[in-house]
Amino acid sequence: MSGIFSDFTLRTVAMGAAFLGITSGALGSFAVLRRQSLLGDSISHASLPGIVLAFILIGTKSSLVLLIGAAIAGWIATLFILSIIRNTRISSDGAQGVVLSVFFGLGLMLLTFVQSKPNASQAGLDKYLFGQAAALLPEDVRTAAIIGVITIICMIFFWKEFKLMSFDPVYGESLGFSARLTDIMITALIVISIVTGLQTVGVILMSSMLIAPAASARQWTNKLGAMVTLSAIFGAISGVLGATLSSLISNLPTGPTIILCLTSIFIISLLFAPDRGLISKLVKRYRNRFLFSLQKLLLDLYYLEEKHKGTSHAHDMKTISLIRNRQGNIHIALKTLQSRGWAEQTTAGLWKLTAEGHTEAIKIQNGGRNDS
Rounded-to-integer distance, Cα 351 and Cα 329, Å: 14
Q: State the number of binding residues for other proteins (CB under 8 A).
A: 61
Q: According to CB under 8 A, which one of 43, 211, 217, 241 is a site residue for other proteins?
A: 211
Q: Are 47 and 198 in contact (CB under 8 A)?
A: yes
Inter-residue contact 202 to 213 (CB < 8 Å) = no
Helices (H), 324-368: 331-339, 355-367
- Where are the extended beta strands (E) located within 30-176? none
CB 152: neighbour CB atoms within 10 A? 17
Cβ proximity to other proteins, 35 vs 308, nearer residue: 35
Interface with other proteins, residue 259, by CB under 8 A: yes
Q: Which stretch binds other proteins (CB under 8 A): 13-21, 148-156, 199-207, 299-307?
A: 199-207
The binder of other proteins chosen from 27, 95, 145, 320 (CB under 8 A): 95
Q: Is 290 in the site for other proteins (CB under 8 A)?
A: no
DSSP 151-175: HHHHHHHTHHHHHHHHH-HHHHHHT
The residue (of 87 and 325) whose beta carbon lies closer to other proteins is 87
| Distance separating the N- and C-terminal Cα atoms of the chain | 51
Q: How many H-runs (helices) and E-runs (strands) does the chain carry?
A: 16, 2
Q: Out of 97, 179, 323, 350, name the contact with other proteins by CB under 8 A.
A: 97
- Scanning residues 4 to 63, which ones bind other proteins (CB under 8 A)? 32, 35-38, 40-41, 45
111 near other proteins, judged by CB under 8 A? yes
Among 67, 70, 129, 133, binds other proteins (CB under 8 A): 129
Residue 70 engages other proteins in binding (rule: CB under 8 A): no
CB of 41 to other proteins, least distance (A): 6
Of 18, 51, 133, 205, the one binding other proteins (CB under 8 A) is 205
